[in-house]
Structures are given as structure tokens and as C-alpha cells.
Amino acid sequence: MHFNKSKPAPGANMMQSYMERRLTDLHYKSGPSIQNYKDKVIAFVIGTVIIALLPYLHIGIFYLKIWVPGKPKVDRKKCRCSCFDTVFRAYESIKYLIPLIREKKLRKSMFVLYLVNLYPHYYSWWSYFSYYNEDFYRYYYHHLYFTVTELIATCMVLHLCDNRNKIVSWKIFVILGINSMHMIVAGIDQFVTHVIVGRSAKFQSARDIGLMVPDLLHIIIPVIELVLMAKNESLTISELCYKEEVLLCVLFIFMGTVFGRIL
């Protein structure tokens, strides 16, 4: 008696090939998702470390060990120490920047602007707690004006950190207009009196310089980028920029300065 070996069903090979193709596609498609997950984890870790370290570096190292080393220890129960405000007292952008760095799509000049603006942002948010603690409520609106405009400029800087986003004149004028206004208002408010005339304590002068230098770099570096772009496209600055953009930028600086002084 002879037994015939059973043959595979007609659709068996087709089904096997289909499954192999699907598994292969799934394998290759999982690569980017895994990488995105790694980017998010790295960004979360870096952001957490920065959030944890900044207050310690600010209060525990810079102020306590360097700036005011002779201050007496704070009495936390009575809080009668005069140095309470100097001794006792995040980050979606990182998730955006990590992939750009990994994929080598980071525009270095704009990344420099992002880094130098870390202190102004940190100081800005910390000041809200100081104003609340010391009942300086009349400064809130003035400070909020600086915070909002500074965030707009930083968002544009982050946008241009990606070298796939083209540098165009109106984007540059957004950064120039906001930071020029900041320099003028800050200069009138306290920079000239504190730093140039010298009528301030050392920590006030250091703070004012730390806030003014980033604004100055936010003017110099974008202008250099604009000049380089004009050179690469064989155009003059006047050909690259619309006169309406220049007029709007000047008008914004003027109106923004007046509004900042009123607040």
C-alpha cells in the first residue's frame, strides 16, 4: 500500500510570503519609533537634570559659596535673616533639539542664541516668585510683557535651529525687533544707571549684564545670518528685505518701547 505525501494547499505559499513581508515591514518600521522613544527619554533625562541642578547652582553654589559667602545662616523658623532672598529661597525645547543634534540638522548659530538665552528665561521665571514673596505686585505687568515677547523670540530661534527651515528676512526681523526693544527698555530702566554710571550693587550690575548680552547677541548673530544669506543668493540687503518689513520692524521697536515704559 502506498501513501501519497500531502501537498500544501494552493494558497499556503502565498499566505507565508505575505506574512513574511508584513513581519519584515513591521521590523523596519519599528526602527524610527524606537529611535523617537530614545530621543524622548534622553530629552526627559536632560530636562530633569537641568531643572534639578539650576536652583542648586544658583542658590547653593553661586550665591551661598561665591556671591554672599559671609552671610549668616538663615533661621527657617523666624526668617529674620536679611539675606533670606539671596540664600534661602524645563523643557519641551530639549525634546525638539535632541533629534536635530542626532540627525545633524542643527543650525549652530541659532543654537548659540538658544543657549545664551537660558539665563534670561531662568531669571524671568524666578522673578515671579520673588515679586510674589516680596509683594512687588506693581512689577508683574512690566515683567510679563518682557516674558511674553522673550518667548516669541525664543520660539523663532528654536524654529530656525532646524537647518531645514529657511532663514528669511521676516523671521530675522521678528528676533531683531523684540530684542532691540528689550535693549532700549532695559537700558532706560536700569542698565545705564546700574552698569555705566555705576549706581548699583555688584550683583545688580552682574544681573543687568547677564540680561543685556543675550539681547545684543540676538541682534548681532541674526544680522550676520542675513548678510550671509544675501551673499549666498548674490543679493544686496535691500534686495533681500522688503521695505515694508523694515518699516514694520522700526514701528514695532518704537511702539514696543513706549508700551514697555508705560507698564
What was the pLDDT predicted at 72?
64
Same domain, 136 and 34: no
Smallest Cα–Cα separation from 245: which of 181, 178, 171, 153?
171
What was the pLDDT predicted at 5?
47
What was the pLDDT predicted at 249?
94
Q: Is 230 helix (H, G, I), strand (E, B) or coil?
A: helix
Smallest Cα–Cα separation from 212: which of 228, 192, 233, 232?
192
Spatial distance between the Cα atoms of 207 and 194, rounded to a whole number of angstroms: 10
What was the pLDDT predicted at 139?
80
Residue 12 included in any domain: no
Domain limit, last residue, from 84, 104, 124: 104
Domain holding 61, by residue range, is: 24-104
What was the pLDDT predicted at 174?
95
Contacts 24+ apart (CB under 8 A), 67-72: 67/203
CB-CB contact of 133 with 89 (8 Å): yes
Bridge partners of residue 106, in order along the sequence: 162
The CA distances from residue 121 to 22, 26, 28, 50, in Å, are: 48, 43, 41, 13
Same domain, 176 and 157: yes
Same domain, 31 and 142: no
Domain limit, last residue, from 55, 85, 104: 104
Contacts 24+ apart (CB under 8 A), 168-176: 169/226, 169/240, 169/241, 169/242, 169/245, 170/245, 172/222, 172/223, 172/225, 172/226, 173/241, 173/245, 173/246, 173/248, 173/249, 175/113, 175/218, 175/222, 176/218, 176/219, 176/222, 176/223, 176/249
Residue 220 included in any domain: yes
Spatial distance between the Cα atoms of 157 and 6, rounded to a whole number of angstroms: 69
Helix, strand, coil % over all residues of the chain, rounded to 5: 80, 0, 20
What was the pLDDT predicted at 247?
94
Spatial distance between the Cα atoms of 209 and 204, rounded to a whole number of angstroms: 9
What was the pLDDT predicted at 87?
44
- How would you class 13 by CB atoms within 10 Å of its CB: exposed for 0-12, middle for 13-18, buried for 19 or more? exposed
What was the pLDDT predicted at 28?
55
Q: What is the total count of domains within the chain?
A: 2
Query: Does an H or E element contain 7, and which?
Result: none
Q: Is 259 helix (H, G, I), strand (E, B) or coil?
A: helix
Residue 70 included in any domain: yes
Same domain, 137 and 258: yes
DSSP class of residue 162 equals: B
What was the pLDDT predicted at 27?
53
Same domain, 81 and 130: no
Placement of cell 548678510 in the chain: 227
Averaged over successive runs of 10 residues, the pLDDT of the chain (263 residues) comes to 49 59 57 65 76 69 64 61 46 84 93 91 83 80 90 93 93 95 90 83 82 94 92 88 92 93 85
DSSP class of residue 106 equals: B
Domain limit, last residue, from 82, 104, 126: 104
